[in-house]
Amino acid sequence: MVEINPKRRSISDSADFSLVSNGKQDELNVSASNIDSLLHRFVVFIDATPNTARTYRTSLRQWFKYMHEQGIRNPDPDDVRNYRTYLKEAGKKPTTVQNYIIAVKQFFKWTEAEGLYPNVAKYVKGAKLSKSFKKDYLTSRQAKKVLEDIDRSNLLGKRNYAMLILMLTMGLRTIEVSRANIEDIRNSGDSTVLYVQGKGHTEKDAMVRMPSIVEDAIRDYLKARKSSRLTEPLFTSTSNNNKGKRLTTRTIRGTVKQCFIKAGFDSPKLTAHSTRHTTATLSLLNGATLQQTQALLRHKNMQTTEIYAHNIQASKNPASSDVANAIFN
């Protein structure tokens, strides 16, 4: 358990963030009066996108709150490690702990670069993350059933079908689907492609080849929608309150989940992100190389793609059946 050190002083409300040398130790002072400007300087330094900057601000406020509650004025590596333990014992998920610790590590990297405070988090490790995915994927038969069970006799159904078939075959994230405009569909040689603004990107600088069946579904949907401007969002709301407006990631997640449930696949492990897992898994199962699948999903690290291959190999491993046969036959 993380214990509070009663000998440590609490952070004064009037304290400023500064580097104070007393001959032996540096002192880190943070207060409500300067925290906003401090975080602004930090996010400018890391050159983060608005979403990433928002995440860092939220994460670091938790760290500053922890410092205040523990009376920490001179944070050291053990303080950061204790913070990691505190987050785990508070019931935070490993991915959340990892993100919070990454924010702290980046923060102290900045304080050292600015000459404000040593990088005390440099050698602190994050949380141990599972090398498998927490969401399931659909088999090819299940994916087909999800698509076939969508009623395409109306505009809503045409939109949902086009969106689901795009996500299942092209592996787009919900944020990438939300950001897509009609004009992002272009020709590249003999192929039709969709230019994508990926997670953490500020521009639509990646392209994914669009299968003809997806192109046909989108064309059918846009014709029914009677879209006339290329700058319009690719997928828009059909509700009375938001008709014609860009779909939010929340709406996309809800729509995908509803389609799964309608097809008979109601599981907490099947979510909108399962469509991306489905793309990766079916790609590898049908003969694509790791490099091809990595390019399709735009993974920065090959190790992420390798997790899919490992899971496929594990599911096909006959060893447990062989042991059972040896015992009972």
Q: Which among 9, 159, 161, 144 is positioned nearest to 72, based on CA atoms?
A: 9
**E runs forming strands in the chain:** 19-21, 26-28, 185-188, 191-196, 206-209
Distance separating alpha carbons of residues 142 and 207, to the nearest angstrom: 27
pLDDT at residue 129, as a whole number:
60
Residues 62 and 203 in one domain: no
Place of tokens 């779909």: 247
67 lies in the same domain as 145: no
pLDDT of 315 reads 64
Spell out the alpha helix ranges (H) of the chain.
35-46, 50-70, 77-89, 94-113, 140-148, 155-170, 174-179, 212-225, 249-262, 274-285, 290-297, 302-316, 319-328
In eight-state DSSP terms, residue 20 is E
Q: What's the CATH number where 47 sits?
A: 1.10.150
* 82 domain residue, yes or no: yes
Residue 9 neighbours by CB under 8 Å, 6+ apart: 71, 73
| Residue 152 placed within a domain | yes
> What CATH number does residue 308 fall under?
1.10.443.10
Q: Which domain holds residue 160?
A: 140-316
List the chain pLDDT tens, one digit each, 329 residues: 434 343 333 333 334 444 443 444 556 666 666 788 888 889 888 887 788 888 899 999 999 999 989 988 889 999 999 999 999 999 988 888 988 999 999 999 999 998 889 999 999 998 776 555 566 889 999 999 999 999 999 999 999 999 999 999 999 999 999 999 999 999 998 999 999 998 777 789 899 999 999 999 999 999 999 977 999 999 999 999 999 999 999 999 999 999 999 999 999 999 999 999 999 889 988 888 888 988 998 888 787 788 777 776 666 656 555 566 666 66
156 shares a domain with 94: no
Q: Quick one: 178 and 52 in the same domain?
A: no
Give the span between the Cα atoms of 22 and 32, in whole angstroms. Answer: 24
Any domain includes 200: yes
Q: Kindly report the pTM of this predicted structure.
A: 0.63
Identify whether 119 is part of a domain.
no
Q: Do 30 and 151 belong together in one domain? A: no
Beta-bridge partner residues of 185:
194
Q: With respect to residue 74, please indicate whether it lies within any of the assigned structural domains.
A: yes
Question: Is residue 179 in some structural domain?
Answer: yes
